[in-house]
């Protein structure tokens, strides 16, 4: 194959590859906007807030007990024998470790709060994902971005915002213009 044919083939490949790139259709959604229309989301969030507050109160109580023991130890330290000091220090360390373990159990990575959040939110997230998929299929979109995700989102034309379509597909009635909604 001569050089001219190779150049023509490469040119055609680049042309069709770039043409298909420009033919892609994009849209974005605002997941916060969508979730505000789902009553189950608000209910789940309230449940999580109550659980979190109760567990935080228990964590605070445990650390307050450690603090109380530490202050009592510091006040009594000069009166204690070496053996009594070591015993009290060990008691404080043990209580502090128990408090930290409880805190990790409730709030740590894959702790009880994480598990409860997953249990309550997964069905909601699945419904939203299915609605987004259905909307993307209906509008023949190639990609849908979430403007509230970790992905850098520098600009989006309002005509590409399909959040209202997702809310409608979920069976809720969006109110007003997105640009007028409170953030």
Tell me the CA distances in angstroms from 62 to 69, 101, 166, one per residue in order.
11, 11, 45
Q: What is the pLDDT along the chain (183 residues), one digit of tens a residue?
A: 555 555 545 655 555 555 455 556 788 888 889 999 999 999 999 999 999 999 999 999 999 999 999 999 999 999 999 999 999 999 999 999 999 999 999 999 999 999 999 999 999 999 998 898 888 888 888 888 888 876 655 456 677 888 888 899 899 988 765 444 433
Give the 3-state DSSP-derived string for 18-74, with helices as H, strands as E and coil as C.
Answer: HHHHHCCCEEEECHHHHHCCCHHHHHHHHHHHHHHHHHHHHHHHHHHHHHHHHHHHH
**What's the pTM?**
0.68
Compute the C-alpha angle 153/154/158, nearest 5°.
85
- Residue whose tokens read 């190779």: 6
């Amino acid at each position: 194959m001569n050089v001219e044919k190779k150049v023509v083939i490469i040119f055609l490949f680049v042309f069709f590859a770039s043409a298909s790139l420009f033919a892609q259709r994009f849209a974005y959604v605002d997941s916060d906007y969508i979730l505000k229309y789902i009553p189950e989301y608000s209910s789940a969030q309230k449940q999580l807030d109550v659980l979190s507050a109760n567990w935080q109160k228990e964590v605070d109580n445990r650390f307050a007990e450690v603090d109380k023991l530490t202050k009592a130890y510091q006040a009594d330290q000069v009166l204690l024998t070496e053996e009594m000091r070591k015993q009290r220090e060990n008691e404080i360390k043990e209580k502090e470790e128990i408090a930290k373990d409880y805190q990790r159990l409730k709030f740590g990575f894959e702790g009880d709060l994480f598990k409860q959040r997953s249990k309550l939110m997964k069905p909601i997230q699945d419904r939203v994902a299915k609605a987004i998929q259905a909307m993307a299929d209906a509008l023949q979109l190639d990609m849908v971005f979430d403007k509230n995700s970790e992905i850098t989102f520098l600009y989006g034309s309002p005509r590409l915002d399909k959040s209202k379509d997702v809310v409608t597909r979920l069976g809720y009635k969006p109110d007003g213009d997105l640009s007028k909604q409170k953030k």
